[in-house]
C-alpha cells in the first residue's frame, strides 16, 4: 500500500512515461544524426582508399606502357603496331569471360549503381576495371584513365559500405561519393570531380550528399598529392585576352569544336550498337582490330594519338607542333578513340576529349594567325578554349569543363 498523502501510483509514473515517450519520439532523429555523422567520416576513408587505388592504377599503367611501348615519349618500331593488337585479344577474353561489367568507360555503370542497383557494385568489377584498363591504356589504346578511376572509386566505396553495414538508403548514395574520390585523384582537381559527379552521375544538386562528395574528393586529392606530387596534368603558359576582338576568333573555335563534338558523338552512337549486334565470336577480335588500327597509325608516324596523350597537350600549348600537324592529330584521335571505345575496350573518354580539343584549338589558332594575325592570341589560350568546348560538347558537362581547364 502507498503511504497516506502520497500521490497515486499512476500519477508518480507519468513523468517517467513522458520521458520515455519523448525518447521514443527523438530516437529516430538521434539515430539519423549519428548515421549522417558516420557517413561523413566514412566519406573521408573512401577518399583515402580510392586515392591509394588510383595511385597504384597510374603506376601500373605507366609500368605497362614502358614495357610495351618503350621509355621514349614518342614510341617507334614494330612493337608499336603489334602491342595494342596482342593486348586487345587478352582484354577481349577477360571482358567476355571474367569481367563482363567493365566494358566501356564506367560512368554509366556507376549511374546504374546509384539509380537501379541500390549502390551495389561487385568488388570483382573493381579488380577487373583495374586490370583491363591498365592493359588497354598501357598498350596504347586511345582511351584515358579518368573514367576507370571513377568506377574503381565507386566500387571501393560500395564494398566498404557493405562491409560496415550501411543502411539501404546510405548504401545507395555511396557510389557517387567513391566516384568523386576516384575522379578527383585522377584529375588532381577536387572541384572538377565534384562538379562532374553532380552534373553527370547524380544529375542534380542534392544537399544530402554534397558534403560527403566534397569530403571524399578533398581527402582523395590530399593523399594522391602526398604520393605523386601536386604537378598539374599539363603546364599552362601565361595566357590572356589581349584585345576584345579575339572573342570573335574564340566564337569560331566554338563552332568548329561543337561540330567536331557532334561528329565524334554520332560516330560512336552509329558504330557501337552495330558492333554489339554482331556475332559473339567477332567480339573476341574487335579490341584487337582496334588496337591494330591504332598501332598502325602510330607506326606510320603519329604515335601521339596512342594512350591518354597529356604530354602532347602540353607540347601543343607550348607551340611545338605546326597547325597542320595539330589538325591531323585531332582528326586521327577522333578515329582512334572511336574505334577503341566502340570495340568495348575498357577506358575513359576524358583524356581523348581534352586531347582533341587542345589540338583543334591549336589548329584554329594557326589558321587564324595566318589569316588575321591582329585577332589571334596565344596558342595556349586557344588550346584551353578548345578543351573546354570539346569537353562541354561531347560529355555534356559545361560547368565541369570551365573548372577543368582553369
pLDDT digits (tens, 9 = 90+) for 167-224: 888 888 888 899 999 999 998 888 888 888 888 777 666 666 888 899 999 999 999 9
pLDDT band at 322 (very low <50, low <70, confident <90, very high): very high
Share of the chain above pLDDT 90, in %: 48
Q: Is the pLDDT of residue 10 over 60?
A: no
Q: String of b and e for 105-144 (b: at least 16 CB within 10 Å)?
A: bbbebbbebbeeeebbbeeebbebbbbbbbbbbbbbbbbb
Instruction: Of 361, 319, 354, give the one whose Cα is nearest residue 337.
Output: 354
| CA separation for the pair 322, 319 (Å, rounded) | 8
The pLDDT value recorded for residue 287 is: 94
How far CA 201 is from CA of 60, 84, 112, 195, in Å, comes to 27, 31, 9, 10
| CA separation for the pair 53, 150 (Å, rounded) | 11
Break the chain into its structural domains and give their ranges: 29-228, 246-405
Intra-chain end-to-end CA distance of the chain, in Å: 82
CATH hierarchy code of domain 29-228: 1.10.3080.10
Q: Is the pLDDT of residue 90 over 90?
A: yes
pLDDT band at 375 (very low <50, low <70, confident <90, very high): low
The pLDDT value recorded for residue 168 is: 82
| CA separation for the pair 106, 221 (Å, rounded) | 20
Instruction: Indicate the pTM of the whole model.
Output: 0.87
In degrees and rounded to multiples of 5, residue 23 shows phi and psi of -65, -40
Q: Is the dihedral of CA 63, 64, 69, 74 positive or negative?
A: negative
How far CA 107 is from CA of 99, 197, 213, 243, 298, in Å, comes to 16, 9, 16, 40, 28
- Average pLDDT of the segment spanning 243-258: 84
- Tell me the per-residue pLDDT of 109-134, one tens digit each, with 9 for 90 and over: 888 877 778 788 899 999 999 999 99
- Average pLDDT of the segment spanning 53-61: 95
What is the torsion angle, in degrees rounded to the nearest 10, for the CA atoms of residue 269, residue 273, residue 278 and residue 279?
140
Amino acid at each position: 500500500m502507498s503511504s497516506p498523502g502520497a500521490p497515486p501510483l499512476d500519477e508518480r509514473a507519468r513523468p517517467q512515461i513522458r520521458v520515455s515517450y519523448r525518447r521514443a519520439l527523438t530516437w529516430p532523429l538521434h539515430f539519423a544524426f549519428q548515421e549522417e555523422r558516420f557517413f561523413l567520416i566514412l566519406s573521408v576513408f573512401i577518399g583515402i582508399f580510392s586515392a591509394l587505388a588510383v595511385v597504384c592504377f597510374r603506376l601500373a599503367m605507366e609500368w605497362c606502357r614502358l614495357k610495351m611501348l618503350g621509355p621514349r615519349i614518342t614510341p617507334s618500331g614494330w612493337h608499336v603496331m603489334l602491342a595494342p593488337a596482342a593486348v586487345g585479344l587478352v582484354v577481349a577474353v577477360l571482358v567476355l569471360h571474367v569481367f563482363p561489367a567493365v566494358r566501356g568507360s564506367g560512368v554509366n555503370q556507376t549511374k546504374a549503381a546509384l539509380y537501379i542497383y541500390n549502390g551495389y557494385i561487385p568488388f570483382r568489377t573493381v579488380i577487373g576495371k583495374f586490370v583491363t584498363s591498365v592493359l588497354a591504356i598501357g598498350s596504347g589504346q586511345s582511351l584515358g584513365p579518368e573514367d576507370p578511376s571513377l568506377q574503381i572509386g565507386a566500387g571501393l566505396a560500395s564494398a566498404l559500405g557493405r562491409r560496415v553495414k550501411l543502411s539501404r538508403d546510405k548504401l545507395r548514395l555511396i557510389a557517387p561519393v567513391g566516384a568523386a574520390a576516384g575522379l578527383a585523384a585522377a584529375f588532381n582537381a577536387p572541384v572538377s570531380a565534384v562538379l562532374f559527379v553532380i552534373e553527370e552521375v547524380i544529375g542534380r544538386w542534392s544537399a544530402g550528399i554534397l558534403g560527403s562528395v566534397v569530403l571524399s574528393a578533398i581527402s582523395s586529392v590530399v593523399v594522391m598529392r602526398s604520393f605523386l606530387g601536386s604537378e598539374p596534368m599539363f603546364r599552362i603558359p601565361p595566357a590572356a585576352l589581349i584585345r576584345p576582338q579575339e572573342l570573335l576568333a574564340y566564337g569560331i573555335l566554338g563552332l568548329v569544336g561543337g561540330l567536331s563534338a557532334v561528329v565524334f558523338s554520332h560516330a560512336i552512337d552509329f558504330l557501337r550498337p552495330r558492333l554489339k549486334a554482331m556475332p559473339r565470336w567477332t567480339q573476341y577480335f574487335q579490341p584487337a582490330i582496334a588496337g591494330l588500327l591504332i598501332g598502325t597509325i602510330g607506326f606510320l608516324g603519329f604515335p601521339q594519338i596512342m594512350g591518354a596523350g597529356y604530354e602532347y597537350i602540353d607540347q601543343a600549348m607550348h607551340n611545338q607542333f605546326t597547325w597542320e600537324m595539330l589538325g591531323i592529330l585531332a582528326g586521327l584521335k577522333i578515329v582512334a578513340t572511336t574505334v577503341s571505345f566502340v570495340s568495348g575496350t575498357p577506358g575513359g573518354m576524358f583524356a581523348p576529349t581534352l586531347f582533341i580539343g587542345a589540338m583543334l584549338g591549336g589548329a584554329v589558332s594557326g589558321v587564324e594567325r595566318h589569316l588575321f594575325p591582329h585577332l589571334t592570341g596565344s596558342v595556349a589560350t586557344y588550346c584551353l578554349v578548345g578543351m573546354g568546348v570539346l569537353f562541354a560538347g561531347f560529355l555534356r558537362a559545361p560547368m565541369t569543363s570551365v573548372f577543368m581547364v582553369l
